[in-house]
Each structure stands twice: as C-alpha cells, then as structure tokens.
C-alpha cells in the first residue's frame, strides 16, 4: 500500500492541492537540465513523501541524498538543495561548497528554500563567500495534506516559539497558507479565533486579503467557516494519554507523516533489528473504520472480523457455493493482510496498555483532571521524580497538575523544581525556565478556575460508553477535550453564549463575518441572517486550525462530532503539526549537546 | 532591571552548557549565581547555580580519586547511584549529606543501585 493517501473522498479538492505542489517541484527540477543530485533537508523528506513518489523524481534524473554535515559523495555536476529557511541548515551546505572548491571541483549549486527565502540565511551564505556560487530559488510548499481531512503546515516548533521565544514569524506562514487556500476555494466568510496568536493570524489574513484580493467569481465559497485556536488555550488535553487507536499508536510508536516505523518483530516478521514502515491513512479501509475508536473497542472489532472470516471459511469448505458467493469470499480474503496488520499492531499496544504502570498513570491523570486528592497526586509525581522515570513522562503529569491548579504553591513549586534538578541534572534549569515562561509549570498566584471550566464546558462525563459513544468524551474514556468543546460551541451557537467561560481561558477572541459578495439569490429572498447555514442542502464546511499542534485524539473527536446527527458540517483540520504530549514537550526540553 | 534580568537568563544557559575546561566553567556558574542573587525573585536560581558549582567540584574530586571519568555532568542522583554501584558507600553518603538529599529519594536510589549490582544480601539487610 502506498504511503500517499487517496484524497478522493476529501470534502474539498485536496488532490488538486497536492498535484499543484507536485507540478511545481517537477518544474523546478526540469528547469535544471541533466543529471542532478537532490539534497533534501531530513525534516522535509516526510512531507515530500506525501506529495511525490521517489520513483517520479528518479524519472527526472534525480539522485536523492539527505542533507548531512559530511562531504557530499556524488558524480553529478549539479547539486540542488531543498531546505527549510533555517539558519543551522546553511552550515552543511557551506561546507559542501567549500570542500568542493578546495578540491578544484566545478559544480553548479542551487538552493531552493521551503517555503520562501530568508534574509538571514542569505546573509550567512554571503558572509561565507559562497552566495555568488549559488542559484537561489523558492519552493512555496506551505502545507501538506496528511489525509483526506487533515492538513499540516509541518512547523513543529510553533508552540515553543510563540510561548517561550516570542518568535511569531510562523504566524505569517500560517496566514499565507490560508490565503493560498482561498485562491482555490474562495474567501472564507466567517472567521472565529481564540488566543492571541490566532487573533493575530486572522488580522494578518485580513491584511493579505486587502493587499492581494482573491479575484475569482466562483460563487459560493467552498469553506464557510474558519476557526483558529491557540494550543495555549488548551494545554491540558495534549498532556493526557490518548486512548483512541490512532492516538495510542502515536503515543507508543510515534506516527510520522502518516506512517509508523517499527521493529519487524512486532509485525510477526522474524528478522533481527529490521525496521519496517507501515502506512496509516484512510486509504486503508479497515484503519479508516477503527482509527477513531477507543482502543478497548478496537480489540473487539478486530476479534469480530477474524471470527466472521473463519466462519465464512468453514461455510466455504462444508457447503456447495455458487460462483458469486465464492467471488464474495475471495473479495473478503483480499482484506486479510489489513486485518493481520492491525491485529499485530493491536497486540503490541495491548501488552503496553495492560501494564500496571500504564493503568496507574491513567488513574492519576483522571484524578488530576477531576482535581481530587491534591496530596495523592503530589506524592505520585514526587515518587516518579525520585525513581528517575523518563523526564518527559514526568513533566507531562506535572504540567497537567500545575495547569489544573493554576500553578503550585511556592513551597511545593520550589521543592519539586529542586528534586527535578537533582534527579535529572542542572542543565534542566533552562527546561524549567521554558516551562515557567510558557505558563505550563509555575507558581500559584490566584485560585484555580479549572473547576468552573470543567463544569461550564462539561469536560468530565460520567458513564462514558466507549462502545456506543454519545459524546466526544469517549476519546479519553471520560474526559472531553476542552479544545473540541470550544469548537463544538463555535459551530453550534458561536461563542457569545459562553462569553464568561471564554474569559477564563488565555488570550482574546474574535469573530468576524465578511458578507456582501457572498449573497446568493436564495439568501436575498429569504433574508436569512445566518450565513453559517447553507440552504441548498449541501453540507457546509468548517476549517479548524490549531496553532501549536493537535493530537490524533482531538481529530477523532472532531470527526465524531461531524458524524453526529443534525450536524450539517464537514470538518477539515489544519495544524502546525500533529503532536502528542511527548513530541510537544520535547521541544521545551533542553538538549545536552 | 529588565535588562539585568534578561542578561541573567542569557547568562544561565551559557553557564550550564559551559566550556570543557572545568575551572572557567565553575567560575561562570558562580558568576551566574551571584547575578541571580542580586534580585530577590531569583533566589531559587541562585541556590541551584550554587549547588551546581558544588556538584561539579565534587565530581571532579571523585574522578581523580576513582580514576574514572564518569562523574562530571551527571545529576546528583546519578552520582549517588554510581558511587553505590562502585561500592563506594562513604562517597555516596557524603554526596547525600552535602546536598541534603531526602530519605525518600535516598532509599529509591539505593534500592535501584543495589539491584543493578545484584547485591541481594545488602538489599536484604537494607
């Protein structure tokens, strides 16, 4: 199965988006005649693999390499670099060029920046006197369709950059990406934003629309509503362990660009140390069916599939069958590899999730969210630190604890910080500093509003039936993600009715409507004031963008929401990156060089 | 004051990463400690920097006395563990008292360390 997902069922034409990027890349390569060596920034290779197959690149005379510090080994007279506009990526390029010139090698060099060139990068090339040897261009790849309803901007540091470094350059990138979407799908009339960065993106988007209006008369815009949400508004959700199938896969095996890489032994292949890559996207029918389910249920579904298969098999062997029945059976057999694959994965997850340590942790997460038993939670975390359990796992729980209490009393705050430094080393002073700056782990200054929030947004749902869920809370077995609750509210009735609750969350919020050119004949006669509703029976489309990352569990909850009866909305999720608590916190942790 | 604060923060990561030469590195950390001490709200940071410097000194001494370059840049807990694993209980207790390690943490460390050396007798007695 291909890693490139099939996008035909997407609510908007994402295939055209992908084809557009593909063409653009091929044009770049075509314009450089002859054999060339394409050197790719390792962080881009994932996104590229979702856009273009390597075989297609090879057809255009391309030799592929990953960008690394050691000298480039290639026979090609032309070298094309495809890199993000990051300063540290310039160093290997410079050393390649200098290495070649010192050996007297004559080559042509091209650098294509993704998505655009930056002054800083060019300055450094200039200072190292290699600028004049290079041809510089841009490959404006602003987003990658990860699946039929998920777009990613592939910016993995946004959360930390915005919360700690105060670097907001990525906001422009996001606004630009939305603006580009509007050129294909029409101006989005309703924009709702919560959080200071989201509001800023909405502002930048407005400016872009004024400077460079979308000039096309496509009639109705394809996307009716845009909801922008800062990750900062809800940091609680990513700190919790995701309990959907896809979410758990990400927690334990790290899904990257729609695929997991894992030991062959998990998949039942006996080969020491061999890694295999398993694609995970909705082109896999079975995966599409079970990815959003709570993991408890997944095991049952798989068992059911396997037994019904067995039943069919006995039927075939015992009774005489018509040709068409045989045909049906063979068709079913075709899905066998998929079932085996997911049974293997589920088995691996089961062994991890049935461990007492995992269950204990879930219990503790639940206690913290309920904000019961402060002392028990405190002692649990203290013990984790004393046992020197993996730092990021400890921090996840600690942050959850700090967030729901709006910080810890100074005595406890200082005590835990000291124990952390003693157990994990003093270099983590800057980790703690990062977390404090981001407001994730801090000193308590006022009373916590968590209980009010929990009640107002109905975050904890008792008696969640994971098999027949009636509420999004099933994704965390009883906790409804705050972020998704806000989106639910925004779609159903707007944020006005919960104004008071919104004020308890960080950052301002804004709602704008761009009417005027949108009025079709039906809304003129009906005079309907609600532009949100599309009257011709078509489902209207909501684009939800998370600034700072989104978890798979939240995406599952959104899919669940749009599948509800009475919801005339399809939802597309845009994110700066798909994250889990681990990948998100990893950006905050100080790395020892 | 704002300027001073930001300077302190920029100073701090530099100090904790530091240079491979230990003498200047400890000095840098002590400098950071003094800077942190100048404002009241950085009391915690100042103390931590102080302990860090002390730890590095101690680790250097340990490396000289055991002739093994495995101590520098490990955390306090790791240092204690290494001492016990090497059978150097006196040094372990010295580190413990020097940094006022709580009994709770001390027990965890000792249990883990004895388990790694498979010193079941000592674990039993303990």
Could you tell me if A448 and A371 are in contact, meaning their C-beta atoms sit under 8 angstroms apart?
yes
pLDDT attached to residue A516: 45
State the average pLDDT for chain B: 75
Q: Which residue has the higher pLDDT, A258 or A226?
A: A226
Confidence of residue A257 (pLDDT cuts 50, 70, 90): confident
Contact across the interface for B12 and A430, Cβ inside 8 Å: yes
CA distance A196 to A449: 20
H or E stretch at A540: strand A540-547
A&B contacts, CB < 8 Å: 67
Residue A431, C-beta contacts closer than 8 angstroms, at least 6 positions apart:
A395, A588, A589, A590
Topology annotation, domain A372-447: 1.25.40
B12 and chain A: CB distance < 8 Å anywhere?
A: yes
For residue A497, count other CB atoms closer than 10 A to its CB: 11
Contact across the interface for B73 and A425, Cβ inside 8 Å: yes
pTM, two decimal places: 0.87
CA distance A242 to A492: 25
Express each pLDDT in A55-66 by its tens digit: 888 888 888 888
**Residue A579: is its pLDDT beyond 80?**
yes
Question: To the nearest whole angstrom, how far is the Cα of B34 from the nearest Cα of chain A?
Answer: 16
Tell which residue, B122, B40, B34, has the closest CA to residue B84. Answer: B122
Express each pLDDT in A507-519 by its tens digit: 888 888 875 444 3
State the average pLDDT for chain A: 85
The helix/strand/coil state of B93 is helix
The two most distant CA atoms of chain B are separated, in Å, by 58
Contact across the interface for B77 and A417, Cβ inside 8 Å: no
A430 and chain B: CB distance < 8 Å anywhere?
A: yes
Chain B residues touching A417 at Cβ < 8 A: 44, 48
pLDDT attached to residue B58: 85
Contact across the interface for A422 and B74, Cβ inside 8 Å: no
pLDDT attached to residue B43: 78
Chain A residues touching B17 at Cβ < 8 A: 427, 592-593
CA distance A347 to A251: 15
pLDDT attached to residue A315: 76
The dihedrals phi and psi of A150, each to the nearest 5 degrees, come to -130, 130
pLDDT attached to residue B2: 45
Best mutation site among B13, B17, B40, B75 for testing chain A: the one with the most A CBs within 10 Å? B75
Q: Which residue has the higher pLDDT, A542 or B67?
A: A542
Nearest 10 degrees: CA dihedral of A487, A254, A421, B111?
A: 130
The helix/strand/coil state of A571 is strand
**Residue A47: is its pLDDT beyond 60?**
yes
Q: Which of the given ranges, A123-132, A357-366, B1-10, B94-103, has the highest pLDDT on average? A: A357-366
Specify burial of residue A488 (Cβ count, 10 A radius: 0-12, 13-18, 19+). Answer: buried
Distances (CA, A) of B2 to A575, B30, B39: 35, 21, 11
For residue A305, count other CB atoms closer than 10 A to its CB: 20
Arithmetic mean of pLDDT, A375-395: 92
Contact across the interface for B99 and A423, Cβ inside 8 Å: no
Arithmetic mean of pLDDT, A300-311: 86
Of A383, A419, A427, the CB nearest to B16: A427
H or E stretch at A192: strand A190-194
A591 and chain B: CB distance < 8 Å anywhere?
A: no
- Chain A residue closest in CA terms to B78: A423
The dihedrals phi and psi of A108, each to the nearest 5 degrees, come to -100, 135
Arithmetic mean of pLDDT, B36-52: 78
pLDDT attached to residue B123: 65
The residue written with tokens 């099939």 in the block is A6
Of A383, A426, A593, the CB nearest to B52: A426
Best mutation site among B25, B105, B110, B116 for testing chain A: the one with the most A CBs within 10 Å? B105
Question: To the nearest whole angstrom, how far is the Cα of B48 from the nearest Cα of chain A?
Answer: 7
Chain B residues touching A388 at Cβ < 8 A: 77-78, 108, 112
Question: To the nearest whole angstrom, how far is the Cα of A547 from the nearest Cα of chain B?
Answer: 27
Contact across the interface for A382 and B104, Cβ inside 8 Å: yes
DSSP character string of A81-104:
EEEES-GGGHHHHHHHHHHHHHTT
Confidence of residue A216 (pLDDT cuts 50, 70, 90): low
Express each pLDDT in A306-352 by its tens digit: 888 888 777 777 766 677 777 777 777 777 888 888 998 999 999 99
Ramachandran region, residue A123 (left: φ > 0; alpha: ψ -120 to 50; beta: rest):
alpha
B16 and chain A: CB distance < 8 Å anywhere?
A: yes
**Lowest mean pLDDT across A377-386, A420-429, B20-29:** B20-29
Arithmetic mean of pLDDT, A585-592: 81
CA distance A480 to B112: 39
| Domain assignments of chain A as residue spans, ordered by start | 14-141, 146-236+467-585, 245-353, 372-447
pLDDT attached to residue A379: 93
Chain A residues touching B13 at Cβ < 8 A: 429-430, 590
Confidence of residue A219 (pLDDT cuts 50, 70, 90): low
Could you tell me if B85 and B77 are in contact, meaning their C-beta atoms sit under 8 angstroms apart?
no
Model ipTM?
A: 0.84
Question: To the nearest whole angstrom, how far is the Cα of B80 from the nearest Cα of chain A?
Answer: 10
Contact across the interface for B12 and A590, Cβ inside 8 Å: no
pLDDT attached to residue A578: 93
What percent of chain A has pLDDT above 90? 35
pLDDT attached to residue A36: 86
pLDDT attached to residue A364: 94
Q: Which residue has the higher pLDDT, A523 or A161?
A: A161
Q: Which residue has the higher pLDDT, B15 or A219?
A: A219
What percent of chain A has pLDDT above 70? 93
The dihedrals phi and psi of A182, each to the nearest 5 degrees, come to -65, -30
Cis peptide before A271 (omega within 30 of 0): no
A418 and chain B: CB distance < 8 Å anywhere?
A: yes
Could you tell me if A123 and A93 are in contact, meaning their C-beta atoms sit under 8 angstroms apart?
no
Express each pLDDT in B83-105 by its tens digit: 888 888 888 888 888 888 888 88
Helices (H) and strands (E) in chain B, counts: 7, 0
Question: To the nearest whole angstrom, how far is the Cα of A376 from the nearest Cα of chain B?
Answer: 16
Q: Which of the given ranges, A100-104, A425-429, A553-557, B78-82, has the highest pLDDT on average? A: A553-557
- Chain B residue closest in CA terms to A379: B104
- Chain A residue closest in CA terms to B16: A427
On the question of a common fold for A14-141 and A372-447, the answer reads no
Residue A301 tokens, joined: 């579904």
Domain A146-236+467-585 in this protein, CATH class: alpha beta
The domain defined by A245-353 carries CATH number 3.40.50.300: no
**Residue A490: is its pLDDT beyond 60?**
yes
**Residue A529: is its pLDDT beyond 70?**
no
Residue A264 tokens, joined: 């062959």
**Residue A200: is its pLDDT beyond 70?**
yes
Could you tell me if A115 and A141 are in contact, meaning their C-beta atoms sit under 8 angstroms apart?
yes
Could you tell me if A232 and A507 are in contact, meaning their C-beta atoms sit under 8 angstroms apart?
yes
The helix/strand/coil state of A416 is helix
A424 and chain B: CB distance < 8 Å anywhere?
A: yes
Topology annotation, domain A14-141: Rossmann fold (3.40.50)
B96 and chain A: CB distance < 8 Å anywhere?
A: no
Residue A330, C-beta contacts closer than 8 angstroms, at least 6 positions apart:
none
Confidence of residue B20 (pLDDT cuts 50, 70, 90): very low
What percent of chain B has pLDDT above 90? 0
Could you tell me if A79 and A109 are in contact, meaning their C-beta atoms sit under 8 angstroms apart?
yes
**Residue A86: is its pLDDT beyond 90?**
no
B67 and chain A: CB distance < 8 Å anywhere?
A: no
A523 and chain B: CB distance < 8 Å anywhere?
A: no
CA distance A126 to A82: 18
pLDDT attached to residue A179: 92
Question: To the nearest whole angstrom, how far is the Cα of A380 from the nearest Cα of chain B?
Answer: 12
């Amino acid at each position: 199965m291909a890693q490139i997902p099939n996008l035909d069922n997407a609510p908007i034409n994402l295939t055209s988006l992908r084809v557009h990027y593909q063409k653009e890349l091929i044009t770049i390569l075509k314009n450089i005649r002859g054999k060339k060596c394409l050197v790719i920034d390792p962080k881009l290779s994932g996104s590229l693999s979702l856009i273009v197959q390597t075989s297609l690149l090879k057809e255009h005379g391309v030799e592929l390499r990953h960008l690394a510090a050691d000298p480039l080994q290639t026979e090609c007279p032309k070298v094309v670099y495809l890199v993000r506009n990051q300063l540290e990526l310039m160093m290997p390029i410079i050393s390649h060029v200098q290495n070649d010139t010192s050996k007297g090698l004559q080559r042509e060099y091209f650098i294509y920046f993704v998505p655009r060139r930056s002054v800083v990068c060019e300055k450094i090339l200039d200072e190292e006197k290699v600028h004049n040897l290079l041809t510089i261009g841009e490959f404006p790849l602003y987003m990658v369709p990860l699946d039929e309803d998920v777009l990613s901007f592939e910016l993995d540091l946004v959360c930390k950059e915005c919360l700690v470094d105060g670097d907001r350059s990525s906001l422009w990138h996001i606004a630009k990406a939305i603006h580009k979407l509007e050129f294909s799908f029409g101006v989005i009339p309703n924009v709702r934003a919560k959080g200071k960065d989201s509001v800023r993106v909405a502002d930048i988007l407005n400016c872009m629309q004024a400077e460079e209006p979308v000039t096309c008369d496509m009639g109705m815009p394809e996307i009716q509503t845009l909801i922008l949400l800062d990750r900062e508004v809800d940091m609680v959700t990513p700190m919790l362990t995701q309990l959907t199938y896809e979410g758990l896969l990400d927690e334990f095996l790290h899904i990257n660009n729609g695929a997991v890489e894992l030991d062959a032994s998990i998949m039942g292949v006996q080969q020491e140390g061999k890694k295999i890559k398993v694609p995970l996207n909705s082109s896999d029918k079975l995966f599409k069916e079970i990815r959003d389910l709570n993991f408890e249920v997944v095991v049952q579904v798989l068992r059911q599939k396997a037994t019904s298969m067995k039943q069919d098999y006995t039927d075939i062997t015992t009774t005489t069958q018509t040709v068409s029945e045989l045909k049906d059976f063979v068709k079913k057999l075709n899905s066998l590899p998929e079932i085996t694959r997911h049974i293997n994965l589920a088995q691996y997850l089961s062994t991890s999730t049935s461990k007492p340590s995992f269950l204990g942790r879930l219990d503790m997460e639940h206690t913290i969210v309920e904000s019961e038993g402060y002392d028990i939670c405190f002692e649990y975390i203290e013990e984790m630190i004393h046992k020197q359990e993996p730092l990021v796992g400890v921090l996840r729980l600690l942050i959850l604890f700090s967030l729901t209490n709006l910080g810890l009393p100074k005595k406890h705050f200082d005590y835990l910080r000291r124990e952390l430094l003693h157990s994990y080393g003093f270099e983590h002073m800057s980790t703690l500093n990062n977390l404090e700056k981001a407001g994730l782990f801090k000193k308590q200054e006022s009373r916590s509003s968590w209980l009010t929030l929990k009640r107002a947004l109905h975050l904890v749902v008792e008696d969640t039936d994971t098999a027949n869920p009636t509420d999004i809370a099933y994704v965390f077995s009883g906790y409804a993600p705050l972020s998704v609750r806000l989106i639910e509210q925004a779609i159903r009735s707007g944020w006005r009715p919960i104004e008071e609750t919104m004020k308890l969350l960080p950052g301002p919020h804004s709602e704008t409507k761009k009417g005027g050119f949108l009025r079709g004949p039906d809304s003129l006669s009906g005079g309907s004031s609600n532009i949100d509703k599309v009257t011709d029976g078509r489902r209207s489309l909501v684009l939800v963008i998370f600034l700072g990352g989104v978890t798979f569990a939240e995406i599952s909850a959104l899919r669940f929401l749009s599948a509800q009866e009475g919801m005339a909305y399809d939802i597309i999720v845009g994110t700066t990156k798909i994250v889990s608590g681990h990948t998100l916190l990893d950006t905050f942790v100080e790395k020892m060089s | 004051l704002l300027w001073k604060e930001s300077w302190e923060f920029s100073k701090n990561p530099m100090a904790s990463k530091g240079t491979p030469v230990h003498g200047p590195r400890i000095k840098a950390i002590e400098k950071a400690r003094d800077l942190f001490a100048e404002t009241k709200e950085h009391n915690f940071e100042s103390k931590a920097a102080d302990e860090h410097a002390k730890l590095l000194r101690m680790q250097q001494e340990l490396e000289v006395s055991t002739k093994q370059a495995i101590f520098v840049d490990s955390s306090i807990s790791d240092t204690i563990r290494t001492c016990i694993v090497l059978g150097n209980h006196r040094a372990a207790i010295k580190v413990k008292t020097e940094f006022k390690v709580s009994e709770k943490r001390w027990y965890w460390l000792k249990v883990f360390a004895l388990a790694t050396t498979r010193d079941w007798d000592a674990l039993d007695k303990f």
